Amino acid sequence: MKNFLQQTFASFVGSLAGLFFFFALSGGGLLIFFLALLLSNNTPKIENQSALVFNLNTQISDAQSESSLSSLLSSDTVPTLTLREITSAINKASEDDRITALYLDGSRGNLTTGYASLAEIRTALENFKARGKKIIAYNVSQGEKDYFLTSIADEINLNPIGAMEMNGFASSQLFFASGLEKYGIGLQVTRVGKFKSAVEPFTRNDFSPESEIQTSELLDDLWDSYLENIIKNRPLKTGEINNIADNKGILQAQEAKDLKLVDQLIYQDEIIDRLKTITNSTNEDSFRQISIRDYLSANDSSNTAQTNKIAILYVEGSIVDGQGRISEVGSTRFVDEIRKIRANKEVKAVVVRINSPGGSAVASELILRELQLTAKEKPLVISMGDVAASGGYWIATAGERIFASNQTITGSIGVFGLLFNVEDITKNNGVSNDVVKTNNFADLSNTFRPKTEAELAIIQQSVDNIYELFLERVSEARNMPIPKVAEIAQGRVWSGKSALKIGLIDEIGGLDSSLEYLNEKLQLNNNYEVVSYPESRTWEVELLNRLSDSKIGKNLTDKETLVHLIWELNTELSLKEILENPHQIYSILPYKLNIK
């Protein structure tokens, strides 16, 4: 009944918005709207000798972005595409005689996605280039992520007034122990794993030695992989790039050219003239071109459905209990989706694409159980994106084979619990708390006082049990003795490159590699259709969920705002969830790895 009412109300909200839109466009505006709608339905055409254009400011996600109300109201017009849309377009274009070149257009902004995703795009670009087709790159200013892609180009062009960043990788972290103490917010911790440092932003004012070691080694791995890719296509050596990073950091355009990082310094109108020549468009205002989105529309094969289907389940976001909000992996929702996949007889195999830092240990186990049941009926493999750590790795143990990029961040096999209390806040504001109870531990959930030693022992036992279960899951999946798993666990984070060496993954490769593995295993001869799960949710449903929050519009105190801000800055999880579920046990990344 609740779901029915939600769907009915969501439909009502959508209809109401539609009516508002209708009346707002009445009269001449309505006619213009319908004309624009008709024109927008025209299928794009691909002219001969065209260039495929990839805008580097594109927002890239694994799955189709779910429609949030905030995005609907935003004036931001940055294009959004899925990773597979981009790689599919580039791979198709490599075999399309109508496509002469590929233009990496950095005139509108820079790349923001993770390096593992970029590595998959780079593989598609390598395939395009191997077909003898030119790749032309242009940037106004260039960051290291941009250069990770553009370094493969036949021509790397930079605006004469631009600059280039080449200063290595760093990851900074905010610490709030002193701030929490200042405002009287108490915190107790239960955890397992000496590298499980997700709690450290709340308990320390700097990196612990263990956290500093693992972060340093992870960054070194990622930087080494970065350099390996760069020197494949440029007349440079690793030592030369490190020398630039150590002694220059930021290069002006002419310096970048002198050091052979870029080929030419030209303005955008000049690069357009260059592309007009390549596409034989000399008599036109611009060069013949087609965007990735339009190219996919022009090659739409959605009407050629196959009876053989491979499902891709996108596990993207923090793992939480229940339905979860937009951009979260809610266990209830995903359990239902996995059951749909298992029941669909046309689905012959499953790829679980994980791009998650982890989250609730219980939610991870519930999702894993459904994947294990599915794996008994259909081949199931794992494809790791930028991050597949902690709860994300817990889920990955369901796969018969695990694929990851060298740049993937994974591992973090550890568990922790956070126990906030507001005893000092209440005392300082003249508020007291008293309890009447029937048994010793009846008020275990009381957040108005610290936990006793006996209570902490109970919670620590739960954390230990979850950690032991985590080790068992990894041991069974990776055919590895538990003592060996314990050596590489301890909450430690690994790059995909290192994860392959220690046996946490099976193969370096992206989403396409996992699909090809299943294609060969099932002998489908490429006669299959890819179907995506879960179905994207809409802003109407999000609005309904927001309206149903009884605390919406509550005026927060300065201290509450501080706590909320601290948590949002440090983890994908919600502090509200922590406070409402004080005994929840989490398996999540040590902290947000903002690598720059």
Strand order in the sheet with 155-158: 264-265, 155-158, 134-139, 99-106, 50-55, 289-291
Strand segments, DSSP code E, in 143-216 are: 155-158, 163-166, 186-192
Q: How far is CA 250 from CA 141, 162, 168, 268, in A?
A: 11, 11, 11, 22
Coil, helix or strand for 108? coil
What phi, psi does 116 have (nearest 5°)? Answer: -65, -40
Question: What gap in Å lies between CA 48 and CA 223, rounded to an integer?
Answer: 40
Catalytic hit among 196, 257, 451, 497: 196
Closest CA to 335 of 321, 345, 353: 321
Q: Looking up tokens 């502090």, which residue turns up?
A: 575
Peptide bond into 534 cis (omega under 30): yes
Dig out the tokens for 282 from the structure: 């000399």
Question: What gap in Å lies between CA 135 and CA 152, rounded to an integer?
Answer: 8
Single-letter amino acid code for the residue at 501: K
Strand segments, DSSP code E, in 242-303 are: 249-252, 264-265, 289-291
Q: How many CB atoms lie within 10 A of CB 127?
A: 17
Catalytic hit among 390, 412, 498, 587: 390
Q: How many CB atoms lie within 10 A of CB 545?
A: 15
Q: Is 92 a catalytic residue?
A: no
The DSSP output letter for 142 is B
**Contact (CB, 8 A) for 203 and 445:** no
**Strand 186-192 with 415-421, pairing:** antiparallel
Question: What gap in Å lies between CA 532 and CA 493, rounded to an integer?
Answer: 29
Question: What gap in Å lies between CA 453 and CA 235, rounded to an integer?
Answer: 62
- Give kind and range of the element (H or E) at residue 306: none
Question: What gap in Å lies between CA 59 and CA 53, rounded to an integer?
Answer: 15
Coil, helix or strand for 164? strand
Q: Is 196 a catalytic residue?
A: yes
Q: Which of the residues are catalytic?
A: 196, 390
